[in-house]
């Protein structure tokens, strides 16, 4: 399973992904994102799904982005391009995968800003190649193992949150998933894009880097629960 989180706030974009790759019974570590920055084109892609489908779609997509015919000016055009490559892979492999009992289940998060965009943008792309854009109502997307980490984001994150706050909340969302699911774990990759910068910064965090933060959060959460009023419990217990 995968945990990939994309966040859009006024200051910019934040992307967090785990690095656990599974092929059959083998588990390895590897990045689940692709990023590209050149000539006022700054974008990243994170993916979740069957690894063979994911790798093939990204190879096709990289050829488009890094090729001489790349004349994209807006992020929705890039989202369309990735969707087209997913459709291409589906046309080539979907039937044989289904015949083998495997599901064509690739999802992708793509974000960034191009020269024709007035702001940074964030999209979720489905296995069918269609997409939706993240708006102000919900400033984040999770693909992969989404159930455990979503509540803290829904309760705290808004479009006006700072990138620093988004990173803290995003890490706690990942950490909630990590402690609840044995198929998501460190290291994690973090990408940060600031509005109009056309530059994407990357950092990888290991368990040793974040252990103190995880322990601090667990302790604070326990104390907060202890301070919840208990008058209502007396009628039950």
CA distance 136 to 9: 9
Q: What is the per-residue pLDDT for 136?
A: 67
Model confidence band, residue 27 (pLDDT cutoffs 50, 70, 90):
confident
Q: Is residue 87 part of a domain?
A: yes
Give phi and psi for 148, each to the nearest 5.
Answer: -80, -30
Would you report the helix, strand and coil content of the chain in percent, each value rounded to 5? 35, 30, 35
Q: Determine the average pLDDT of the residues in 92-101.
A: 96
- Alpha-carbon torsion (155, 153, 107, 82), positive or negative: positive
Q: What is the pTM of this model?
A: 0.95
Give me the domain span that covers residue 213. Answer: 3-229
The average confidence (pLDDT) of the chain is 94
Residue 115: inside a domain = yes
The answer to the question of residue 236 being in a domain is: no
Which position has the higher pLDDT, 137 or 215?
215
Count of structural domains within the chain:
1
What is residue 20's predicted lDDT score, i.e. its pLDDT? 87
**Residues 1/19, Cβ–Cβ less than 8 Å:** no
The verdict on residue 234 lying in a domain is: no
Express each pLDDT in 190-226 by its tens digit. Answer: 999 999 999 999 999 999 999 999 999 999 999 999 9
- Residue 235 falls inside a structural domain: no
Q: Is residue 81 part of a domain?
A: yes
Phi, psi of 73 (to 5 degrees): -115, -20
**Residue 95 resides in a domain:** yes
Does 237 have pLDDT greater than 80? no
The CATH number linked to 74 is 3.60.20.10
- Determine, yes or no, domain membership for 237: no
pLDDT in tens, 32-79: 999 999 999 999 999 999 999 999 999 999 999 999 999 999 999 999
* Tokens (6 digits) for 146: 């989404």
Q: Two tokens at 112?
A: 């960034």
Give the DSSP per-residue string, 39-70.
SSEEEEEEEES-HHHHHHHHHHHHHHHTSTT-
Q: Give the pLDDT band (50/70/90) at residue 178.
A: very high
């Amino acid at each position: 399973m995968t945990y990939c989180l994309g966040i859009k706030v006024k200051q910019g974009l934040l992307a967090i992904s785990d690095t656990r790759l599974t092929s059959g019974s083998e588990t390895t570590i590897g990045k689940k994102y692709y990023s590209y920055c050149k000539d006022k084109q700054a974008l990243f892609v994170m993916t979740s799904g069957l690894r063979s489908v994911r790798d093939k779609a990204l190879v096709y997509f990289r050829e488009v982005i890094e090729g001489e015919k790349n004349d994209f000016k807006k992020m929705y055009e890039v989202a369309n391009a990735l969707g087209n490559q997913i459709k291409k892979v589906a046309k080539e492999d979907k039937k044989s995968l289904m015949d083998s009992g495997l599901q064509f289940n690739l999802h992708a998060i793509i974000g960034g800003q191009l020269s024709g965009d007035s702001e940074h943008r964030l999209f979720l792309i489905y296995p069918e190649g269609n997409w939706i854009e993240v708006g102000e109502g919900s400033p984040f997307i999770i693909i992969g193992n989404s159930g455990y980490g979503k509540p803290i984001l829904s309760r705290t994150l808004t479009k006006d949150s700072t990138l620093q706050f988004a990173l803290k909340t995003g890490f706690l969302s990942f950490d909630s998933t990590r402690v609840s699911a044995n198929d998501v774990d460190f290291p994690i990759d973090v990408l940060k894009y600031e509005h109009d910068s056309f530059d994407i910064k990357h950092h990888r965090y290991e368990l040793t880097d974040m252990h103190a933060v995880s322990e601090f959060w667990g302790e604070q959460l326990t104390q907060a629960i202890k301070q919840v009023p208990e008058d209502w419990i007396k009628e039950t217990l």
